[in-house]
Amino acid sequence: MNGSHCKPTDTPIQYPMKKPVSLLLLTLSAIGAVVILGRNDATSEEKKDDHAHGAAVMTLPTGPTKRPEDAKLYIISPKDGATVKQNFTVRFGLKGMGVAPAGIYMSDEMPTGHHHLMIDSDLPDMKLPLPKDETHLHFGGGQTETKLTLTPGKHTLQLVLGDHAHMPHDPPLVSDKITITVE
């Protein structure tokens, strides 16, 4: 190594971008949506060249997104049977998959989803997008915890993982329902 070494710097590394990139949604079908990455300002000759040389193309699933069979969704805290104050934190747990904001689809090889918390509610229809209301909370930013304020008494909490389009995975990934007491 000739005595040279790397040291941290406060100067950010900048990667030059020659031209802005945009997403163009080409088609929707029962099979999926095809997205082509291209440049807004490319000339017709550059666009032909991009096409001839295999511009990046991604197919987004529009049906249920598959998930690993061994994936597990759970509530870290509070624990089932816990007594909590009116204002408390719920922490979400996920194994075997990643958490990503709504609208983000990584790939079949890198499955992700985002959390939906059911409060005092039965599970919704798992063939439809997960609802968003006062008993079905949506964490589309990829959040892994939330602060809740509930009235005193018994309440139930349950998680469902939604895919990029707010659909339950195939098969649906659902936590055990827990019961807590709010004092």
Spatial distance between the Cα atoms of 98 and 110, rounded to a whole number of angstroms: 7
Task: Please count the structural domains in the chain.
Answer: 2
Q: What percent of the chain has pLDDT over 90?
A: 58
pLDDT digits (tens, 9 = 90+) for 50-82: 444 444 455 666 667 899 999 999 999 999 999
pLDDT at 106: 84
Domain limits for position 135: 72-182
Q: Domain end: 62, 85, 106, which one?
A: 62
Q: Domain end: 62, 81, 96, which one?
A: 62
**104 and 153 together in one domain:** yes
Domain CATH code at residue 153: 2.60.40.10
> Which of the two residues, 62 and 92, has the higher pLDDT score?
92
Tell me which residue of 113, 108, 139, 104 sits closest to 23, measured CA to CA: 104
**Residue 67 belongs to a domain:** no
Over range 31-46, report the average pLDDT: 45
The dihedrals phi and psi of 2, each to the nearest 5 degrees, come to 50, 35
What is the sign of the dihedral through the CA atoms of 156, 157, 163 and 169?
negative
**Residue 177 belongs to a domain:** yes
**176 and 90 together in one domain:** yes
pLDDT at 119: 98
**Residue 76 belongs to a domain:** yes
